Amino acid sequence: MGSRIRSVVGSSEGVPRPQQDSPDPAAPQEEAATSAPESTGNAKKPLSGPAALKRQGPKGTQGFVTYADEPLNGNVPTGDPLTAWSRRKLDYKLVSPLNRRKFKVIVVGTGLAGAGCAAALGELGYNVVSYTFHDAARRAHSVAAQGGINSARAKKVDNDSLERFVKDTVKGGDFRAREADCFRLGEESVRVIDHMDAIGAPFAREYGGELRTRSFGGVQVSRTYYTRGQTGQQLQVAAARALQRQVGLGTVDLRTHREVLDLVVDDGRAKGVVVRDLYTGEIEAETAHAVVLCTGGYGNVYFRSTLAHNSNVTAAWRAHRRGAYFASPSYIQFHPTALPVSSHWQSKTTLMSESLRNDGRIWVPKAPGDDRPANQIPEEERDYYLERKYPSYGNLSPRDISSRAAREQIEAGHGVGPLRNSVYLDFRDAIGRLGKKTIEERYGNLFEMYFDATGEDPYTEPMRIAPGAHFAMGGLWSDYDMMTSIEGLFVGGEAGWGYHGANRLGANSLLSACVDGWFTLPYSVPNFLANHLGEAPLPADHPAVERTVAEVRERTDRLLSIGGTKGADHFHRALGDVLYSGCGVARTEAGLKNALKEIRALREEFWRDLRIPGSGRELNQELERAGRIADYLEMAELMCLDALDRDESCGAHFREEHQTPDGEALRDDDDWCFVSAWEHTPGKGAHPGKPVRHAEPLDFQAVPLQTRNYA
């Protein structure tokens, strides 16, 4: 399709958007005008069209969210999803090489998605301005992904294929992702591996020279390519080199130590960003023909997460406040292979790669409260619970299932370690079978990292692991072309939502970032630009630019002027405690309502008692943190509202009210086979107004709806 179909079908002007604070979710709510039908249990047919909006939300959320009347259109090509991407690319409009230098594109973030997008657009001949708050592009958080990157190249004779990749991805996401997006992910995965290999990623190889693979959670084939336990780091180095090449050629203007604090929107289109120079404190605006956000996920909202402490949601959240819908914010993955919290002062958790579960066996003592050292517990007194409950997948069961199983064991009294908050990951059998040298070749740097963090030798005693907040499956809603509900604003990588549904399979994270950056956005962004040839970016003195800059300055001054007694980290830590308790591995209606109440109280305290030393005219990391935590305090409420509204269990969103007799997630496809995309509305004081829920129905043609079964 040459000209883009608008993402929103119909007008949303009829949706009521009251400008008052959300009511206390713990208080009794009046019955909504439109009553919702009762849940009918597991469904056997998907929703389509307006049927997806018959459910106006459960009683628990009536009164403090509102619902759009028309379904969202994801702009997905009709017909066979297997050929959707090739047909869409053929229909895209093109920009001739001589006209490309007339366009400017802002790309925010320099991880695998951002670096790839900026480098690709630069090499095509567009003028690109690339922003990162790091001191160098290669420091982006993509370096932290360790285990590998998936690809449906089917180089092993294990019956893998593109169709099997899509089936695993859709099923792993518990049927809450776009099927057509998953086909694009699998199709382009072949090019990703060849491309990253060509630009310098040192993938592991077999003796004969073929690239080596291993398995990851939720699959029964070997499709994960890796560079020991440093895959993200090596891919990021290769992508950063490609980006720096374009910087040297003059097509990309890389601006470091700049934090994007707002989006310039004029006439319904994204036309620039407002940034703060983190060295000088200067606030400046940059305008362009299009903006691409590749700013990563928001798992750090939990305070203790596997993400770097500076990872944040600010750029995406500020875009949400300007009108970009936020999809499925409650879909948070808790990685089952994180190191356990060892003390209250600990500021984050450490990720141990899922690749360790290829050879490590997970177990707990059969007897609750058994405090003997692991090596003194005999084999017959060990419970290899994943192998027992899910024999077909065993220790490589999907992350959401593995994390819930670990939580069940810990809460039942089988936890190990000083705080009894972890389970064992044991390499005794693998070392005995393969030898220490082989295990060292596969995981040596990970074992060294574990020893540095704990002082324990994993070659001689089991690792201790526990679920930790990790990956955000939710993100800014975008259509099939990666464009958000704001025209001209695109999203890529973990900042988006489309591929992973309610649970991401291991090693699909690096893949989705590379597919978006190198092989999707460089097609879809020019399709948008082709309709705006001859237009100039907004001038610096345009009212929309000046107004946005003034609002950023006003918000900064407001933060600095509070003059309270508590630092920003105090509020972040308290927020994390609330979320782990109320919106963690498992959720309940009562727990979510209590979390909402506590979040609103904490936000009021933040704006009343925050203390920021220094000024805004200098390097001020406390000011940076305060701004990010202010956004988290708003976003946390939307996460809990989304979790409360979605009255089913699916993937990592596990509502204890909705589970099978075996304790597995119980989906409700009759009422909830759609993606929730939330629209921001202003409120009063410290609180946002009632969010508006839009819904995009999901359709599954190649992978029919079915109950997940990993037994």
Q: Helix count (H) and strand count (E) of the chain?
A: 18, 21
Q: What is the CA radius of gyration of the chain?
A: 24
HSE of 139 in the Cβ direction (CA atoms, 13 Å)?
A: 12
Cβ–Cβ under 8 Å, residues 646 and 330 = yes
3-state secondary structure of 287: strand
Active-site position among 100, 361, 399, 693: 399
Structure tokens at 682: 């202003």
Structure tokens at 412: 């039942």
Q: Which amino acid is at 216?
A: F
- Integer Cα distance of 127 and 105 in angstroms: 6
Q: Positive or negative CA dihedral for 62, 64, 69, 72?
A: negative
Greatest pairwise CA separation for the chain in angstroms: 75
Residue with tokens 């027992």: 388
- Residue 58: CB atoms within 10 Å: 18
- Beta bridge partner(s), residue 150: 224
β-sheet with 489-491: strand ranges across: 252-255, 127-131, 104-108, 290-293, 489-491
Residue with tokens 């999901």: 698
Show Cβ contacts of residue 438 under 8 Å, excluding neighbours closer than 6 positions: none
Residue 442 annotated in active site = no
Cβ–Cβ under 8 Å, residues 306 and 119 = no
Q: End-to-end distance of the chain based on CA atoms, in angstroms?
A: 43
Q: Which amino acid is at 361?
A: R
Residue with tokens 């720096």: 244
3-state secondary structure of 458: coil
- Integer Cα distance of 537 and 525 in angstroms: 16
Measured torsion, CA atoms of residues 334, 512, 232, 507, in degrees rounded to the nearest 10: 50
Positions marked catalytic: 399
